[in-house]
Amino acid sequence: MHTAAKHRTEVLRTVATVTLAVCVITGFTWNVLAAAGPTVSQKERTFQPHSLQIARGDTVHVLNDDGELIHHAYVVTDAYNFDSGEQEPGSITDIHFTVAGTFTVRCRIHPKMSLIVTVK
């Protein structure tokens, strides 16, 4: 008599657990990506967009979307330094801005590329 009801409960429990897990994972991932910061593309030997504003602690994701070209992003200031090393085509480089100010991200290979990041 109990078997049918018990079975239904078990199924419901499994469904609920899986749904909850999926939500948590999705939410967590979403938060990791979305809250972290904007994405900038390296394309046609430029940064697109070429300027942006972020909050202190944000991360700018730099995507090399430039065919088979290699890029090499860097920032050199008294307050903050960053060097990406060679960025392979298709790679994403995270630049985590911990200091407020205005910073110019450049490319060691393509000197005309510049990305102005204003960190509030």
Partner 1 sequence: MRALLFTRFAAAAALAGALLAGPASATTLYEDLGGDPGLTAIIGGALDEAVVDPRIADKFDNINMARLKQRIVEQVCELAGGPCHFKGISMKGSHAYLQLEDRHFNALVEDMQDTMDKVGIPFATQNRLLALLAPMRRDIVSK
Partner 2 sequence: MAGKLPRIAITLTTAAILVAVAPDRGSAQTTATQPTGAQPASADTAPETYNNPPELFDSGKLLATGGVSQLEGAGGGGLAPWALITGYGSENSAGANVHYTIVRVPSFLLQSEGAAIGVFDRVELSYAREAFNTGSFGATLGLGKGFTFHEDVFGAKVRLFGDAIYNQDSFIPQVSIGAMYKSTDHADILHAIGARNAQGVDFYIAATKLLLAQSLLVNATLELTRANQLGLLGFGGDRDNSYRPEFAGSVAYLLNRRVAIGAEIRTKPDNLRFAHEQNWYDAFLAVFINKHVSATLAFVSLGSIATSTPQNGVYFSLQVGL
Q: By the criterion CB under 8 A, which residues form the site for partner 1?
A: 44-45, 67-70, 89, 108-113
* Nearest CB to partner 1, comparing residues 52 and 70: 70
Contact partner at residue 69 from partner 1, partner 2, none, CB < 5 to 8 Å by partner kind: partner 1
54 CB-near residues (< 8 Å, 6+ apart): 37, 38, 60, 97, 117, 118, 119, 120
Sign of the dihedral defined by the CA atoms of residues 89, 99, 115, 37, in that order: positive
Using CB under 8 A as the binding rule, whether residue 46 contacts partner 2 is answered as: yes
Name which of 74 and 101 has its Cβ closer to partner 1: 74
Tallying the residues shown for the chain, one arrives at 120
Residue with tokens 């801005």: 97
- Provide the β-strand partners of residue 115: 105
Binding partner 2 (rule: CB under 8 A), the pick from 38, 43, 45, 80 is: 45
Between 52 and 91, how does the x/- string for binding to partner 2 read (CB under 8 A)?
----------------------------------------
Sheet with 114-119: list strands edge to edge.
Answer: 51-54, 114-119, 101-107, 73-76, 81-83
Binding positions for partner 2, rule: CB under 8 A: 44-46, 111-112
